[in-house]
Amino acid sequence: MPKSEQYLKEAFAGESQANRKYLAFAAAADKESYRQVAKLFRAAAEAETIHAHNHLRVLKGVKSTRENLQEAINGETDEFNRMYPGMITTAKAEGNKEAERSFNYANEVEKGHAKLYQKLLDTLGTSKESYPYYVCPICGNTVENEPPGVCPICGTAGKMFKKIE
């Protein structure tokens, strides 16, 4: 692979991580009442997203929605078939309960993501249905239409779920 392409991939990963890290730092700054610091973290996070998207565009990483759905399904499937099971086994062996739980949450949720993507891919361009999704703030469990009474993955109350429309 040409060096520039390798660098674009590395830079995309780094900028993506910086975006999420700065948003977490902003929330922490808000909690500590450092409002101006929180604003700067949010502004920089926004800029890192632009950098990440610029790199991704140069990599031609965004294709048609049909292709993007398939890529998302492939990625999610690899996570719950290969990546997380291996990580869970290692976390267990090392006695790292927090890591094990964090991996378990993601592993369970990715199965749902693959199904939700597959459902839309199967009817792409033929269905006019419109409905919201709800996301669990603790484990990321993602469901259609209505939140459950209690999250089946982590036990959080459904009323805490974030609505996405």
Among residue numbers 14 through 33, which ones bind Fe ion (CB under 5 A)?
A: 15
Structure token pair of residue 22: 């700065």
What does the chain come to in residues?
165
* Residue 48 lies near Fe ion (rule: CB under 5 A): yes
Using the rule CB under 5 A, is 8 a contact of Fe ion? no
Given the complex with Fe ion, which of 51 and 92 has the nearer CB atom? Answer: 51
What angle, rounded to 10 degrees, do the helices at 35-58 and 3-31 form? 160
Q: Does 153 sit near Fe ion (CB under 5 A)?
A: yes
Tell me if 113 contacts Fe ion by CB under 5 A: yes
Q: Decide: is 88 part of the binding site for Fe ion (CB under 5 A).
A: no
Phi, psi at 145, each rounded to 5°: 65, -60
Q: Does 156 bind Fe ion (CB under 5 A)?
A: yes
Q: What is the smallest separation between the CB atom of 138 and Fe ion, expressed in angstroms?
A: 5
Residue identified by tokens 């690899």 is 78
Q: Per CB under 5 A, which region of 24-32, 61-69, 73-81, 125-133 contacts Fe ion? A: 73-81
| 87/139 with CB nearer Fe ion | 139
Contact 154, 141 (CB under 8 A): yes
Give the number of other CB atoms < 10 A from CB of residue 118. 15
| Burial class of residue 11, CB neighbours in 10 A (0-12, 13-18, 19+) | middle
- The contact set with Fe ion (CB under 5 A) reads 15, 48, 51, 76, 110, 113, 136, 138-139, 141, 151, 153-154, 156
